[in-house]
Structure 1
Amino acid sequence: MRPVPPFAVVDRAVLDGIENELSRAGERADAILDAAFDRFEERQVELARHVGDVLDRPLDETATALGSFLSIVIFMAFERAFGERLEAVSTDALKATVDSLSLEEELRARAPTEPLDLEDVVAHEQPGIMAFVHLHLEAALEEAASGEDVDVDDVHLVYQTMLVQTLALSHAVAPDERSKAGGTELLA
């Protein structure tokens, strides 16, 4: 799995800001999310299709709602943090991300002495996003523990999809001027 470049790490404050904005928006929150979803489909065609293919499956209602919310907020976080530097995820880049995560998971399953799970590695690469995802994932699983009928396998599938989305978007961020200059100095 390719590491996330330091210039592509989303600060947790960006996600907290989005969540606060949605909370304060009240009834307008749906309109904000709908507009962000439209931008996601327009600017990240392949990635939006991939996420949509997962969420269009006959999933548990909680898993679908969780996936819809997280996928839009993750996109919004990258969009706000990086603006025009966020490039579209290509078909090849998406496939490489999916394949990389699958291979990494398979290798870790074969090596039971491996100290970190794949989720831990992604959390190290994008700590703000993964902390936000875990917060909402835990809330969904608490519903299951409180007697709500939540399909844990469906929630896990959504979680895996958010890992793919997070890494794909991370690698779609172009370096800023400071990163470009730093890269040149290292080569000199």
Structure 2
Amino acid sequence: MSEAVSALKGRSQTGFATVAEAGPVGMVSLRADLGSAALAGALAALGLSVPGQRQVVGEGRLAAWMSPDELLIFCAYEEAGQVVTDLSAALSAEHALVVDVSDMRSVFTITGAKGDEVLMKLCPVDFATLPQGEMRRTRAAQTGVALWRAGPEELRLICFRSVAGYVFGLLEAASRKGGEIF
């Protein structure tokens, strides 16, 4: 079996904030009726709950609301296959789609007291009003992304793997020392 390799192999850069590719991350896309009791039970078996609109919930494993009928489950890369198997079995009587998307997406972390300023330059989001644990689907420059505040000084951003190099270049340029906004 081959070893999992992320798009940028964990590349990072530190300026006035630190930007880093997270490496291989397990991600499972789940399309289903989010009000379904079967879905709630399947997520509970994973130690998760159904997140509210635009919310990210959980510790370790995460469930992120992506749309009215879609969740993105985050787990360890090596667990993604089993998460797909478990969710598919639990939802076999429901209209649902469960897909391992780990290898088609890249995750970045932006950390530091001025991490918001990195994304302020790229995304049409009011970061002053973005609470911890709230997911936003938006764009960074002209690339579709999803992002959320994971902690007081940490933001996470997801994009397609095919544009990971471009997105890292945007984040790196936006985080260079001397480029602070405030």
TM-score by length of 2: 0.29
TM-score by length of 1: 0.28
Greater fraction strand: 2
Structure of greater relative contact order (alpha carbons < 8 Å, 6+ residues apart): 1
